[in-house]
Amino acid sequence: MPFSDYNVALVTGASAGMGAAIVERLCREGITVHAVARREEQLAALAERTGCIPHAVDVSDLTALTELCRDLQVDILVNNAGISHPGSILHADEHVVETQVDVNLRAVLHLCRMLVPGMVARDCGHVINITSIAAIYNFGGNSVYHATKAAVHALSRQLRVDCYGKRVRITEICPGRVATDIFGNVSGDHEAARRQFIDGFELPEANDIADCVAFAVSAPIAVNIGNIEITPTLQVPGGLSTMRPGESVA
């Protein structure tokens, strides 16, 4: 059980949902957890509940992120922060592109750039990238979200090449629909989003994703769990559409 090999973790997007559940689980395992998110009040409550170390930092703020990581020696890095704006790239504005690239991709690259070299030098570490089934499967809308998550999917595989020969493990976790507030965060109407996407469905909970993180970390050090795809039993990703010339999109 290599939890005992690790001392310090950093988790982004930690103030709620999957991030908060991951922080709670790692704290229960005796890990010192640096919890990073924008929402200071929720982070303070999480710290009170778990004993984590809160950092009210926007991961898209490279200056603040660099200062945070300057003196940190991290054994477990969980890149969980993410945002989504629905819609096709055909109708996306600059804000939709820039914010998702900044949070979903650029922050992940910079955190890996700053923290993974230390893992390699110590011959010990674990990177957990929380992506999405949108990293692997294509479905209507959310073009920029798909693109950023697919990039992190590629990065996760590349990190294993970059860290080859060292005991630095890389795990990508690809959730499907999970019962969290992300849908309300996207639309701004949490009540309507819950009715549309959560109520009446049998869905994984945030704790189920935290359990996946714990499963990957607790595997023997000789074992790298490279990819975990976790979806509701009653959800099938992907699909195929074919139309005749002249037909309109439904």
Q: Which residues are catalytic?
A: 145
- Which is nearest to 66 in space by CA: 98, 109, 28? 109
Torsion angle defined by CA atoms of residues 197, 107, 40 and 56, in that order, rounded to the nearest 10 degrees = 170
Contact between residue 216 and residue 161 where contact means Cβ atoms under 8 Å apart: no
Q: Assign 1 to helix, strand or coil.
A: coil
Q: Assign 186 to helix, strand or coil.
A: helix
Query: How many Cβ atoms from other residues are within 10 Å of residue 217's Cβ?
Result: 25
- Which is nearest to 17 in space by CA: 197, 175, 155, 206? 206
The residue ranges of DSSP E strands in the chain, in sequence order, are 8-12, 32-37, 53-56, 76-79, 125-130, 168-175, 227-230
Contact between residue 49 and residue 88 where contact means Cβ atoms under 8 Å apart: no
**d(Cα 70, Cα 108) in Å, to the nearest integer?**
16
**d(Cα 157, Cα 170) in Å, to the nearest integer?**
8
**d(Cα 78, Cα 42) in Å, to the nearest integer?**
18
Read off the DSSP letter of residue 105.
I
